[in-house]
Chains A and B, each alone.
Chain A
C-alpha cells in the first residue's frame, strides 16, 4: 500500500490558511488542511443565556484562562485552555497568549479593523534607522490588499494620510456626529488626524476564513480538511533533507498519524507555526526562528463624557460613531521619547457607562450612571512594539502539552519605548479632549501585558539576507524551498495596524507565487 501524497499541506485554518487554501485550490492544486481543533457548530454549541443562569454569574471561571483578559463565562470554552496547551515564562514578565483552535481559528472572533501597512512600516529602518526594512513595500503589496479588501468588503473612507494608505473600500459617507466634529476640530491644531474607521463588513456579520475563504476552496473539489489534528512535527525526507509532510495526533483519541505532501505551508498562527519549526528543527540556519517577537500595546487610553449629552440628551446627531487616529508621531517630526508611533481608536458611545468611571457606590453611583448614560467618549491605544532580537520564544523541553508536545517558553517584555508611547498617547488625548470641552472620567497609561492585543508577529521574519531572516520576500523559507510560512510570523515589524489585512495579502501573494513555482516545477 502506498501513502497518498497531497500537493500542499496547510497547517491551520484561520485567515492565512484559508487564503492559502482558496488561492491554491482555485489554481487546481490539491490541498490538505489540518486544524488542531474541532469545527464549531453554533446551532449546537451556543445558546443565548442570561448571566444569572450560569454557575459563576458571568465571572470568568476561577483559575481558568488567567492570561486571557478577553475571556468571560460566556466564551470560556472557545479559547485554548492554558492547562491543556500550557506555555511558560518568567513570572516577572508575563505573556498573554490568546488562542483559538476551533476550525477558522481567531478569524471567528477578530475585531475586523482593516488597515494596510504603509511604507513608514515597510521601510521603517530607512525612515528612523531602527531594525530592518521589509524586503517589500506598499506598492508591491497594494494589488493584493485591494483584492483582499474586495473579498472582505472593507468599509472606510478615502481620507487616509500617507501613513494610512487608502484602499478598495465600500465607501463610508456617513456624517460625523457633533461630538466627533468637536473632537476633530480640537485635534486638528495639534496635527492629529482623525479618519473614518476601516472595518471588514464580511458577509452576514461575519468576516472569517470559514465563510469568506474556505467555502470557495471547498467548491473547487481540491480541498480536504481534517479537524482535531494536533501537529507534532514536520517530517523530512531522509534523502533530500526537505520537508515532506507531518506527524499529527488526533486530539480526542491521541492516535498518531502521518501525512505526506510535496509542499508544507505553516498557517497555525505566529507562535504555533514557530513552535512547530522549533520542535521540528527546521528553517533555522539563521538562528532567528523565535526571535523578534512583537505585538502592539493595548490598554492605555481615556474614558470621557460629553457634558451636553448627559441627562438623556445624547441625541443621535450629537453622539455616536467611531474614528481612527492613525499614527501621527515621528512622521514629519521626531519625538525624543520614543521611536515609531501609535494609533487610537475613538468611540462616541450611546449606551450606559461602566461603574468604574465614577468614584461612587450605592445610590450616588446610580444617580451618576443615570446622568452620564449616553455621554461616553472613549480613546484606546494601538501602539507599535519594536521588534527586538532579545524578545523571543524557545522550546521548553521540560514541559509538554496534553499530547506530549514540548511547549513554548516566552521571553519578552515591553521597553521604555512602549511605556513612553503609552504615556504620550494619554497626555496628547487629554489635551485634545480638554480643548473639545469633554470631561475626563478615567485614564490609564500602563499597557496590558504583551500578547494581549492578539497581534503577535515576527518570529519567522522575512528579509533579503538568509543570515538575518527566516523567510524570503515571498514568505518562503530560505532553507527549504517547499516550506512556506504565511501567517504573522513572517512580519519584519508590527506597525500600529491590525495585522489581518497584511497577513491575508501576504498569504494570497505567497500562494500565487507558490502555484507558479509548482507549475514551473521549481518547487
Chain B
C-alpha cells in the first residue's frame, strides 16, 4: 500500500462515528445480567408436569390415503377389531389415523401394498354390493375378507396376492389398537404392568450420523430356492 493511501485510510477511520463501527460487531452476545447457568436449580426434586399421549387429546391429520381409501381402511379396522364388552375397538383407538401416519412414513413397498389392497377391497365391494366398502355391512365385509385369512409364523406373512395385504393389515390394526392408550386404560393395573417393556433411549447419539451419503438401499426378500448345488467344489481351485 502506498503511504499516501495508508494516510487517507487512517483519516477516514478517525472520522467514522463510533456507533457505525459498533454495527460491524452485531454477532457479539449481549451481556448476561448475571453469570447464572440456565439449568441451575433443575434437579431430581424439580416437579415434573403431567402429560398425556398426544392423540388422546388431538386428532392425527390423515394425509397419506385418499378419502375413499381411508374410509375403506376404517371399515376394515372396525370389522377386524370391533368394540366388545371386554375391550375398545380399533376406531376408538384411532387406529386408522395411526396407520395412515405409520404407512405414510414407511418404505414405499409397504404403502403400495396398502393402497393396492384398499383399492381392491373397495372395487370388490362396488362390484358385488354396489356400494363402497366403507358402507357395506359386517357380513358383507366378512364375505370379502375372511377367505383370505391365513395362519402364519412371525416374519413370514402370506405372500399370495390379497392374502398378503389382508393378513398384514390385520396384524397392523391389531397391534396399533392393542398398544393404544385407550386399550391400556381399560386394563387392570396388573395387566397394565404386563404391557410395559424396557425402552432404550438413544445412547450418546452421534450428531454426524445422519448423512445423505450413508443411505442404505432396501432390497426385496428373495425366497425362491436358488439352483446352487452342494456337489460343487467349495474352495479355491
Contacts and interface: CB of A to CB of B under 8 A. Distances in A.
B52 to A, nearest CB: 10
A52 B179 contact: yes
A50 B195 contact: yes
B16 interface: no
B180 A52 contact: yes
Contact of B230 (A77, A355, A415): A415
Nearest to B173: A361
A110 interface: no
Contacts of A338: 230
B211 A444 contact: no
A102 B199 CA distance: 16
Given A131-B234, A339-B230, A402-B206, A441 B199 contact: no
Contacts of A228: 204
Interface in A379-404: 386-390, 399-402
A520 interface: no
Q: Interface SS of chain A: helix, strand, loop or mixed?
A: loop
Contact of A52 (B84, B181, B219, B230): B181
B74 interface: no
Nearest to A301: B153
B154 A362 contact: no
Contacts of A88: 216-217
B42 interface: no
Contacts of B204: 38, 228, 251-252
A84 B214 contact: yes
Contacts of B155: 69, 299, 448
Contacts of B181: 52
Given A400-B213, A416-B227, A288 B197 contact: no
A82 B216 contact: yes
A190 interface: no
A374 interface: no
B106 A443 contact: no
Interface string B185-222: 00000001001111111111011111101111111111
Contacts of B120: none
A83 B201 CA distance: 18
A386 B230 contact: yes
Interface stretch (B65-73, B75-83, B128-136): B75-83
Nearest to B192: A50
B126 interface: no
Nearest to A91: B219
B236 interface: yes
Interface string A325-351: 000000000000011000000000000
Q: Chain B, interface size: which category?
A: 35 or more
A40 B203 contact: yes
A417 B230 contact: yes
A91 B63 CA distance: 30
B153 A443 contact: yes
A373 B210 CA distance: 44
B234 A390 contact: yes
A165 interface: no
A424 to B, nearest CB: 13
B153 A94 contact: no
Interface residues of A, number: 90
B170 interface: yes
A81 interface: yes
A59 B174 CA distance: 12
B219 to A, nearest CB: 3
A444 B153 contact: yes
Interface in B161-181: 167, 170-172, 174-176, 179-181
A363 B221 contact: no
Contacts of B47: none
A78 B200 contact: yes
B203 A78 contact: yes
A106 interface: no
Nearest to A82: B216
Contacts of A299: 153, 155-156
Interface of B: 53, 79-82, 84, 86, 98, 102, 105-107, 110, 145-146, 149-157, 167, 170-172, 174-176, 179-181, 183-184, 192, 195-204, 206-211, 213-223, 225-230, 233-236
23 contacts: A47-B199, A48-B199, A49-B197, A69-B155, A74-B197, A74-B200, A77-B201, A78-B203, A83-B211, A83-B215, A94-B222, A288-B236, A299-B153, A355-B171, A357-B151, A359-B151, A360-B149, A362-B79, A399-B213, A413-B226, A414-B226, A419-B225, A446-B223
Q: Which are the 3 A-B pairs with shortest beta-carbon distances?
A: A91-B219, A51-B179, A415-B228
Given A86-B216, A130-B234, A468-B236, 14 more contacts: A46-B198, A48-B196, A48-B199, A52-B180, A52-B184, A59-B102, A62-B102, A77-B200, A83-B214, A86-B215, A93-B222, A386-B230, A415-B230, A446-B156
